[in-house]
């Protein structure tokens, strides 16, 4: 899955044709395999697969992606409890789904604020939310439109290590040269993770084999959304870090600690790495 993390890119323009029977089965298998999986806080996603054979533009208008996503033949989304911890879990679990689709050669892109949730209201119950969906299809050749969107989203710009990573406390930033081994690899795949508007709000403090994840919320960002959009970003960062640990055959466990609050940051959880 590490290769998928590095290969994944946001695809907004698709070949205008439906998925074939083989690929429909592949997507179904991905969803089936992920449905039992729980996030770090114990929540599960109830997935749905929205496939269309014809009238792709009409469906895009219905979903609210017309003009932003071109020719997507299918969408995958999910439903989860509308709480902060559940949204973190959604980011963690849905990134697994997107990476699994990437491994199979499909194009995807995280859509959190650019679709009409009411189009999928039949899937939700009381106090549930669809935080994000992704198109699933065959990537078309990139055009000016795609490059323009990436420029607006600053998708090719990433925070440096010393802007988001710290040793012992937030007063000691870590630069790229001061860390090596599997930990460096884990942090590099966090660095390349997608985030809403490329804000990259994750902050990480490493302290004696325990890695603490925090959210540095962007002021006044996405305040009209019915959930905390940046909680998704935290789940994605945790997913990527964990994949680095798995690649390095490191044993670890998720923990929620009570004594790791930091002023102006929101503590999410910690990952304790076995020595």
- Every domain of the chain and the residues it spans: 2-146, 161-273
Distance CA 109, CA 46 (A): 19
Cβ-based neighbours of 236, under 8 Å, separated by 6 or more: 91, 92, 95, 193, 194, 195
Residue 66 confidence (pLDDT): 53
Fold observed for domain 2-146: NADH Oxidase (3.40.109)
- According to the model, what pLDDT value does residue 32 have? 97
Which long-range contacts link 159-168 to residues 24+ away (Cβ below 8 Å)?
159/191, 159/200, 161/187, 161/191, 164/190, 164/191, 164/200, 164/202, 164/203, 164/204, 165/203, 165/204, 165/206, 166/203, 166/204, 166/205, 166/206, 167/205, 167/206, 167/207, 168/205, 168/206, 168/207
pLDDT per position in the chain (275 positions), as tens?
899 999 898 898 899 888 999 999 999 999 999 999 999 999 999 999 988 766 556 566 667 565 678 888 899 999 999 999 999 999 999 999 999 999 999 999 999 887 888 888 888 999 999 999 999 999 986 554 445 444 444 445 778 989 999 999 999 999 888 888 899 999 999 999 999 999 999 999 999 889 999 999 999 998 888 899 999 999 999 999 999 999 999 999 999 998 888 889 999 999 999 97
How many residues does this entry show for the chain? 275
| Contact status, residue 251 vs residue 263, Cβ threshold 8 Å | no
Measured CA to CA, the distance from residue 233 to residue 250 in angstroms comes to: 23
Distance between CA 12 and CA 107 in Å, rounded? 8
For the record, the structure tokens of 247 come out as 């690649």
For the record, the structure tokens of 272 come out as: 């304790």
**Using CA atoms, how far apart are residues 10 and 139, in angstroms rounded to an integer?**
10
For residues 118 and 95, is the Cβ–Cβ distance under 8 A? Answer: no
Same fold, 2-146 and 161-273: yes
Per CATH, the number for 161-273 is: 3.40.109.30
Q: What is the pLDDT of residue 208?
A: 86
Contact yes or no for 215/274 (Cβ under 8 A): no
- Rounded to 5, what percent of the chain is helix, strand, coil? 40, 20, 40
pTM: 0.91
How high is the pLDDT of residue 159? Answer: 87
Evaluate whether 273 touches 210 at the Cβ level (below 8 Å). yes
């Amino acid at each position: 899955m590490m290769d998928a993390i590095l290969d994944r890119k946001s695809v907004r323009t698709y070949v205008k044709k439906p998925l074939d029977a083989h690929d429909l089965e592949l997507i179904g298998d991905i969803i089936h395999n992920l449905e039992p999986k729980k996030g770090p806080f114990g929540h599960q996603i109830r997935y749905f697969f929205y496939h269309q054979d014809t009238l792709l533009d009409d469906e895009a208008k219905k979903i609210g992606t017309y003009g932003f996503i071109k020719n997507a033949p299918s969408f995958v989304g999910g439903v989860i409890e509308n709480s902060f911890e559940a949204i973190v879990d959604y980011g963690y679990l849905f990134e697994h789904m997107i990476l699994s689709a990437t491994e199979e050669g499909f194009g995807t892109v995280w859509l959190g604020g650019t679709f009409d949730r009411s189009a999928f209201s039949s899937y939700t119950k009381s106090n549930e939310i669809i935080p994000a969906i992704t198109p699933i299809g065959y990537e078309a050749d990139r055009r000016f439109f795609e490059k323009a969107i990436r420029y607006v989203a600053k998708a090719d710009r990433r925070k440096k290590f010393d802007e988001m990573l710290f040793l012992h406390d937030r007063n000691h930033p870590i630069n790229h040269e001061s860390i090596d081994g599997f930990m460096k690899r884990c942090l590099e795949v966090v660095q390349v993770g997608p985030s809403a508007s490329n804000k990259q709000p994750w902050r990480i403090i490493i302290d004696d084999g325990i890695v603490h994840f925090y959210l540095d919320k962007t002021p006044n960002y996405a305040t009209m959304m019915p959930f905390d959009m940046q909680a998704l970003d935290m789940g994605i960062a945790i997913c990527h870090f964990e994949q680095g640990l798995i690649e390095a055959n490191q044993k670890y466990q998720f923990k929620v600690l009570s004594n790791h609050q930091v002023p102006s940051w929101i503590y999410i959880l910690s990952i304790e790495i076995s020595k």
